[in-house]
Structure 1
Amino acid sequence: MSTSSSATAAAGGAGEEGAAQPQQVGPVQTCKGVNGLEKVVLREVRSCSAEVYLYGGHVTSWKDEHGEELLFVSNKAIFKPPKAIRGGIPICFPQFSNFGNLEQHGFARNRTWSIENDPPPFPVPTSNRAYVDLILTPTEEDLKIWPHSFEFRLRVALGPGGDLMLTSRIRNTNTDGKPFSFTFAYHTYFSISDISEVRVEGLETLDYLDNLQERNRYTEQGDAIVFESELDRIYLGTPSKIAIIDHEKKRTFVVRKGGLPDAVVWNPWDKKAKAMSDFGDDEYKRMVCVEAAAIEKQITLKPGEEWTGKLELSAVPSSYYSGQLDPDRVLQDSSVPEDSIS
């Protein structure tokens, strides 16, 4: 069984403590990040950028053309195995949450992925130059706790306009003829001005499972999701586009997704924030998680079958704070052709 214990691409930059600057200039660079962990830096011509750590296949940074950080990473995040990095976009696989003998949110987010220099043909060819292909296969230890052979390919791409795109392809490579089932989430932490200034649009009238109420099922009654206390919900049968409106920053994040019917909305609030060792006591005010996911119904793959789950994030100026912007138009105007996201 092949493993993914090391990267196949050589890293540039210094190896001292902290994040070293890449030595070369180009759309894709490798260098050492925090604690010497290898990362890939993606850059676009408009000065947008993204950073992906091989540890966890974990996107830890997404900056716009002004250099403003759009993702939240805790100041107390531990960039050291086996702890998952707190913030950015952790990959939850082969499970979301905590069931059975697997660790919380599965193991993909705290394994070291490899750069795949010659991946199989991609379903949708891209003209973007700023992208990286990663692959994860199970180690012998992984097979002891989850006895299934798989290939997990992840492409992280930065579009010319600054959009961030993640595409996951998971293939069952079992040789014993057995199918396997899994749940999945892109556990995205967005950077916001203040949690009291944020609304999530596009999930109104939908059913959700409340993780704070033993996953009992309820129906969303509000015309938007606002935050006044801890919130941890799995919305079901969600649309392909969701908007996160930050009134104070006059900015809207648009989440577009394919193959991921559910959406998790989470903010830990003050009590839970204080209970997390890798999270600042007041940092809950500056983050919100809106996660594209497949949780309620497990995905099942027979040997040789492959599943694809896509996430595309964009940040657009928003005048919603003045009441001039119809939230439905945010979702409509930010749409992409169905064949490019399905």
Structure 2
Amino acid sequence: MSQNYDAGMYDSVTIKHVGELDLIEIERPECSASLTLQGGQLISYAPRGEHPVLWRNPDVAYQKGEAVRQGVPICWPWFAFLERNADPVRNSFPIQEAPAHGVARNALWRLLSITEEETSTAIAFELNAEPLGLKAVVTYRLGAVMKMELESFNLSDQPKHLSCALHTYFAVSDIQQVSVLDLDDLPYIDSLRGWSLHKQDGPLHIAEEVDRIYYDTPAILRIHDKKWERFIVLESSESRSAVVWNPWIEKSKRLSQFSPDSYKHMLCVETGKLLNDYIELEPGQSYTLDLTLSSRR
């Protein structure tokens, strides 16, 4: 697993081998969670005694080198197809065949540390992307709320521009009982309508395939689940852009690691630094994107 992990050192941490991957499992009075070194990814998270905050995908595949469609895949240092990013981001990565969503989500990260605190367990992973002149460190604090920090470092002697998204799969009772709040009057790019520009009118209700990039977003976004009588609250002091995605019926039939009816029970609201909300790093500089998730009545 790692020289930083000793089974006898931690009360809340165990290792479980699933498929081709090792999962780091957390069991605390406040929550349960699991993570994997592949992608430096949080796989599951549920406050104790509540519905999971993150969607549990019954068709998920734990395979080496393949993105895990569950939890919080990290899209970094660009989002979606590189050519869709802002010019400064594209110019920072003159790559012939750039993988969609960057290099982080399929890569094997290194375990930096595990720290058991009074009300949470903190786990940090590191990804050295030296060929791109970058390094990333992601830290999770898992307790009654989930706190995540993704820090990007410029290792090169040239300025770097990058974008990223925390591609969070949220668990919902029934997609038609759910609305996304705090988007009213915000501009968004609709990738399903030729990447055209639109403006949100009121809460967002999902009744068809949705794939939108919102910008000028507030520090807090909420998902209201009427059936489960809860709000999932996303807080980020740095992000001013977000993606909302649900594949709906027809696309669900074509997706890997996805059942035809899985769209009913998940919704992606992705905290990001996207479009013109990209990260600018001078040589030696770093930048931290934060995300806090909580479940509230």
Query: TM-score scaled to structure 2, two decimals?
Result: 0.89
Aligned to 1:178: 158
Q: Does the 8 Å CA contact 1:255/1:314 hold for their aligned counterparts?
A: yes
Contact 2:223 2:233 in 1 (8 A): yes
1:244-323 correspondence runs (5 A): 244-297=223-276, 298-317=278-297
Structure 1 229/37 Cα, relative in aligned 2: closer, same or farther at 3 Å? same
Match for residue 18 of structure 1? none
Structure 1 outlier segments of 4+, above 3 Å: 126-129
Aligned residue identity for 2:16: K
Per-residue CA shift, 1:186-233, capped at 9, x if unaligned? 000001111000011001100001111121111112x20001100111
SS in structure 1 opposite 2:19? helix
Q: Is residue 2:74 matched to residue 1:95? A: no
Change in Cα spacing, 1:256 to 1:7, as seen in structure 2 (3 Å) is: same
Secondary structure of 2:49 counterpart: coil
CA deviations over 1:230-270 (Å, ceiling 9, x no partner): 01111101000011000001111000012211011110001
What is the CA–CA distance in structure 2 between the aligned matches of 1:42 and 1:134, rounded to whole Å? 15
Counterpart amino acid of 2:215?
A: L
Q: Deviations over 1:86-121 (max 9, x none)?
A: 1210000011111253211111011111111399xx
Partner Cα distance (1:52, 1:118) in 2: 12
**2:20–2:63 contact (8 Å) kept in structure 1:** no
Instruction: Specify the alignment match of 1:104 in structure 2.
Output: 100
Q: Secondary structure at the match of 2:251?
A: helix
1:44-123 alignment, distance < 5 Å: 44-46=28-30, 48-66=31-49, 68-100=51-83, 101-117=97-113
Distance in 2 (alpha carbons) for counterparts of 1:194 and 1:78: 23
Structure 1 stretches lacking a partner, 5+ long: 1-5, 13-22, 120-125, 318-342
CA distance in 2, matches of 1:312, 1:62: 12
Please give the root-mean-square deviation of Cα atoms over the aligned residues, in Å.
2.1
Please state how far the C-alpha of 1:291 moved relative to its aligned partner: 0.8
User: Which residue matches 2:138?
Assistant: 154
- Which residue number corresponds to residue 123 of structure 2? 132
- Give the drift of 1:44: 3.2
For residues 139-170 of structure 1, the C-alpha deviation after alignment (integer angstroms, 9 at most, x for no partner) is 6xxx2xxxx222211101113xx101110111
Q: Which has the higher contact order (CA 8 A, sep 6+)?
A: 2
Cα distance, 1:34 vs structure 2: 1.3
Cα distance change of structure 1 residues 118 and 88 upon mapping to structure 2, 3 Å threshold: closer
Q: 2: distance between equivalents of 1:171 and 1:8?
A: 24
Bigger fraction of residues in strand: 2
Measure the CA separation in 2 of the matches of 1:149 and 1:299: 14
Give me the whole-angstrom Cα distance separating, in 2, the residues matched to 1:166 and 1:287. 20
Q: CA deviation at 1:75?
A: 1.8
- State which drifts further: 101-110 or 308-317: 101-110
Judge conservation of contact 1:89–1:186 (CA < 8 Å) in 2. yes
Letter paired with 1:9: N
CA 1:8–1:214 in 2, change beyond 3 Å: closer, same or farther?
Answer: farther
TM-score after normalising by structure 1? 0.78
Q: Which has the larger radius of gyration?
A: 1
Kept in 2: contact 1:207–1:218 (CA 8 A) = yes
